[in-house]
Amino acid sequence: MPDAILRIALPSPLRRLFDYRAPPGVPRSALQPGARLRVSFGRRELIGILIEVTDHSEVPADKLKPALQLLDAQSPLPPALFKLCLWTAQYYQHSLGDTLSWALPVLLRQGEPAEVRQERFWHLSEGAQLDDPRLARAPRQREALKTIAQHPHGVAHQLLGQLQLNKESLGLLREKGLVRLEIRRHAASARHRNWLAEAELPLNPEQRAAAEAVRTGFGRFNAFLLAGVTGSGKTEVYLQLIRATLEAGKQALVLIPEINLGPQTLARFERRFNARIALLHSGVNDRERLDAWLAARDGEADIIIGTRSALFTPMQRPGLIIIDEEHDASYKQQEGLRYHARDLAVVRAHQENIPILLGSATPSLESLHNAHGGRYALLHLHQRAGGAQQPRFLRLDVKSRPLDSGISGPMQQAIGQTLAAGQQVLVFLNRRGFAPTLLCHDCGWLSECPRCDARMTVHQRSAELRCHHCGHLERQPSNCPTCNNVDLRPVGAGTERAEERLGILFPQVSVLRVDRDSTSRKEAMTKLFNTVQRGEPCILVGTQMLAKGHHFPRVTLVAILDADGGLFSADFRASERMAQLIVQVAGRAGRAEEPGKVIIQSHLADHPLLVQLTEQGYFAFAEQALSERRGAGLPPFCHLALLRAEAHRPGQAEGFLDAACSEAELLVNELKLSGIELLGPVPAPMERRAGRYRAQLLVQANARAPLHRLLSSWMPALEQMPGARAVRWSLDVDPIDLF
Ligand code: ADP
Ligand code: ZN
Ligand code: ZN
């Protein structure tokens, strides 16, 4: 019998498998496809995944190396997930090995055993009383005890933070004998009879109709688009469908945009269910991530909640997939494997034959198009749950008005009136820093980034100039670097400037800023929420971090300082994004009794899309935008793939793309493909970034099949091209960003 040849997928960009011999002493019968192996690759050691065992290799026998070590007796990756990875690699034209390594938890990629660690759980002690007299003057401990009592199966130590439980309180409770710590495998006990830890809200008729529709679709593939205005109770619908899923003995996977994963959202799931919840997001460390992944795989987690990459969590008993805020751009990975988690989730639901629910107040044009075409069932929630009214929109033309740190006179008045009425204001400006650029009033010098075709942003508080594209950092100069004049002026306004100005205009209230610079620390965010919750008049200033997931019931005015970026931009998706942002920000306001008002400053106050949006709402806007896309032959009415390249020398990337373009033209003829257009190559809209010159080539196709036929011949050809190693290049299938 010939030696076994192992075909292994390695984490390498090369779109092929690599052949090895079996590790010394390992019999053929021990080699299960899907198992991980350690191999030497060039001068490195890599961990790869066994795809198949055969008898034959193209590689001469004396060149074949043995693999170093077999890491698994069985595949850690269940077949369903492997199938999803295969599909993903094929669709995004990415190497299978690299795709698998994106899909696996970091520790598995690094060769850790695929085994669950022991987990610590906090429980109520036998006979503990919630009104124990010793807690009379310890409100935090009393609260903590109450929370623990709501979870008859214990609270995993890992989830303490999500439930706002602190370790000191628990430690003190433990000393008093009121709670105990149990160490066990993450697996919980027997089937639950009651999955609910708190009562459900009675659904209103629209919510009930939506939930019913999805429930009727249980047990097989069905895709639903839940279009519900902000605050319409989408989350309540999710929760009740999850309960139904658990009752059917199945698991639910919930994807949430990174930015939404505030403690508020997670606490809501935790409060509602007596269930084992696995969390997979950026705040979870590698070990916790692996445990959560394994618990989901082995059916020991009932609900899996996570961000984009949680899509690749295996499930033993999949029952339902929910994608919250399906329009959110963070579902698209912008590096390496450029997958779209929402799109892949639909594929996964199809493969696993289970229903999927996409929810949003502002569905993407792609999903609406799918709903129009009958591929998704469209479910609407028109009213806010709990009776709160929809905000009113006003457009404020600032064409010939002076802007004072970005805030016009009428806007200042509106803010003043709202504060005087004892209410809160949210000021939205999607630009952080003090000002987008620094200008020398004498010679016209601008704070350009030395590494990018972009200006550096002024950050006044830290006295720095920062490039938001490459991270380049400089001290803010006191004199002009060119003419030495001292009259340097920040031009335009970012959140830092708006915050400073509002503090001067309204000294009697607190002004709180929320953006990536201010909220890098968790406590800052908590402090902010506490202030807002107290209900005193205040001003929140922030970027899109403010636009999502949070409830600010006392905010009655939303001031949008700049909607123009979305109307001017060369990116055909900019207006869609602007509309989504405006509607999402507006949705923060007036949630309770007080109706909200949204004022939008614009130099293009009469722009048809803006008029449509503010007068007739998002769905009218979306129809208009879709018909414009149809007219222009843009997605979702065509399919795109973008080949990007970058290099150190000018012209080098374009040269590579020129050759790539000729190759594609040849293939289009050879394969007799029709309906394909090659646009470019052209320099990227920001040609130089981080010191590299960038260019791109766009492939536009009427249909998917010919596009994918082209790509699957084109990519291997490009790998062979002589110039391919001198440039950094990548393919983006269904790009959402053409920059
Ligand atoms: P969305 O997810 O659409 O933004 P949520 O589910 O967060 O909406 O609901 C918004 C608010 O309305 C929440 O405070 C929620 O508790 C409340 N709510 C949701 N459904 C109902 C209902 N059927 N009856 C009363 N209140 C509800
Ligand atoms: Zn100067
Ligand atoms: Zn830069």
In this prediction, residue 80 has a pLDDT band, given cuts at 50, 70 and 90, of: very high
452-464: average pLDDT: 93
**Structure tokens of 644?**
């990007």
537 CA to middle of ligand 3, Å? 39
Mean pLDDT of 249-257: 95
Side-chain half-sphere exposure of 403, counting CA atoms within 13 A? 18
Distance of CA 263 from the midpoint of ligand 1 (Å)? 17
Q: Does residue 233 line the site of ligand 1, with CB under 6 A?
A: yes
Note the pLDDT of residue 261. 58
Taking residues 396-416, what's their average pLDDT? 92
Predicted confidence band of residue 166 (pLDDT cuts 50, 70, 90):
confident
Domains 205-386 and 388-435+492-629 share a fold: yes
The backbone region for 539, taken as left when phi is positive above 0, alpha when psi lies in -120 to 50, beta otherwise, is beta
Distance CA 618, CA 594 (A): 22
Q: 25: which DSSP letter?
A: T
The answer, yes or no, to whether any atom of ligand 1 lies below 6 A from the CB of 201, is yes
Residues in the chain: 739
- Average pLDDT of the residues of the chain: 90
Using CA atoms, how far apart are residues 300 and 297, in angstroms rounded to an integer?
Answer: 7
**Contact call for residues 584 and 426 (beta carbons, < 8 A):** no
Predicted confidence (pLDDT) at residue 402 exceeds the cutoff of 90 = no
Q: What is the mean pLDDT of residues 390-409?
A: 90
Residue 580 is predicted with a pLDDT of 94
Q: Ligand 1 mean position to 368 CA, how many Å?
A: 23
Across the range 629-647, mean pLDDT stands at: 95
What is the separation of C-alpha 625 from the centre of its chain, rounded to a whole number of angstroms?
Answer: 24
Axis-axis angle for helices 409-420, 495-505 (nearest 10): 60
Q: Say what the pLDDT of residue 663 is.
A: 96
Distances (CA, A) of 381 to 192, 238, 470, 489, 548: 32, 13, 42, 48, 18
Antiparallel, parallel or unpaired: β 222-228 and 251-255: unpaired
Q: What is the pLDDT of residue 120?
A: 78
Distance of alpha carbon 38 from alpha carbon 54, whole angstroms: 18
Ligand closest to 322 (CA) is 1
Mutate to test the pocket of ligand 1, among 207, 236, 239, 593 (most ligand atoms within 8 A of CB): 236
With a 6 Å cutoff on the Cβ, whether 232 touches ligand 1 is: yes
The DSSP bridge pattern shows strands 538-542 and 510-514 to be parallel
Closest CA to 571 of 622, 635, 519: 635
pLDDT for the residue numbered 259:
67
At residue 281, the pLDDT reads: 83
Residue 245 has pLDDT above 50, yes or no: yes
Name 338's bridge partners. Answer: none
The domain segmentation of the chain, as residue ranges, is 5-109, 119-185, 205-386, 388-435+492-629, 639-733
The pLDDT of residue 191 is above 60: no
Name the least confident of 221-230, 247-256, 520-529: 520-529
Q: Is the pLDDT of residue 395 over 60?
A: yes
Atom of ligand 1 nearest to the CA of 203: 23
Ligand nearest to the CA of 450: 3
Helix (H, G, I), strand (E, B) or coil at 604: coil
Q: Which ligand is nearest to the CA of 588?
A: 1
pLDDT at 190: 42
Closest CA to 307 of 291, 289, 320, 287: 289
Which pLDDT score is estimated for 592? Answer: 60
Name the CATH superfamily, with its identifier, for domain 5-109: PriA, 3(prime) DNA-binding domain (3.40.1440.60)
- Right CATH number for 639-733 from 3.30.70.360, 3.90.1150.10, 3.40.50.720, 1.10.357.10? 3.30.70.360
Separation of CA 481 and ligand 2 centre (Å): 7
Instruction: Report which bound ligand comes closest to the CA of 454.
Output: 3
pLDDT band at residue 231, thresholds of 50, 70 and 90?
Answer: confident
pLDDT tier at 582, thresholds 50, 70, 90: very high
Q: How would DSSP label each residue in 528-564?
A: HHHHHHHT--EEEEESGGGSSS---TTEEEEEE----
Mutate to test the pocket of ligand 1, among 200, 207, 226, 235 (most ligand atoms within 8 A of CB): 235
pLDDT at position 736 over 70: yes
User: Which residues place a Cβ less than 5 A from the ion ligand 3?
Assistant: 449, 451-452, 467, 469-470, 472
The per-residue pLDDT for 726 is 87
Mean pLDDT across 680-694: 93
* Residue for token pair 């999805």: 214
591 has pLDDT over 70: no
Q: How far is the CA of 439 from the centre of ligand 2 (A)?
A: 8
- Looking at residue 189, what is its pLDDT? 45
pLDDT at 179 over 60: yes
Question: Nearest 5 degrees, angle CA 627-CA 632-CA 637?
Answer: 70
Please give the number of the atom of ligand 1 that sits closest to the Cα of 239: 6
27-39 pLDDT per residue, tens: 999 999 999 999 9
Cβ(277)–Cβ(296) under 8 Å? no
* Residue having the nearest C-alpha atom to atom 19 of ligand 1: 233
Q: Could you tell me which residues are beta bridge partners of residue 464?
A: 459, 475
> Residue 159: its pLDDT value, please?
79
438 band by pLDDT with thresholds 50, 70 and 90: very high
User: Given this model, what pLDDT does residue 389 score?
Assistant: 75
Which CATH code for domain 388-435+492-629? 3.40.50.300
Q: Which CATH number fits domain 205-386: 3.30.1330.10, 3.40.710.10, 1.10.1240.10, 3.40.50.300?
A: 3.40.50.300
Counting residues of the chain whose pLDDT is more than 70, the rounded percentage is 95
* Ligand found nearest the CA of 240: 1
Question: For position 549, what pLDDT does the model report?
Answer: 62
Run of H or E residues at 263: helix 263-272
pLDDT per position as a tens digit, 270-307: 899 988 899 888 778 898 899 899 999 999 899 999 99
Q: Which pLDDT score, from 0 to 100, does residue 553 have?
A: 79
Kindly give the number of the ligand 1 atom that is closest to the alpha carbon of 230. 4
pTM of the predicted protein model: 0.87
pLDDT tens for 309-355 read 999 999 999 999 999 999 999 999 999 999 999 999 999 999 999 99
Q: Please tell me if the CB atom of residue 234 comes closer than 6 angstroms to any atom of ligand 1.
A: yes
Q: Is the pLDDT of residue 408 over 50?
A: yes
- H or E stretch at 501: helix 495-505
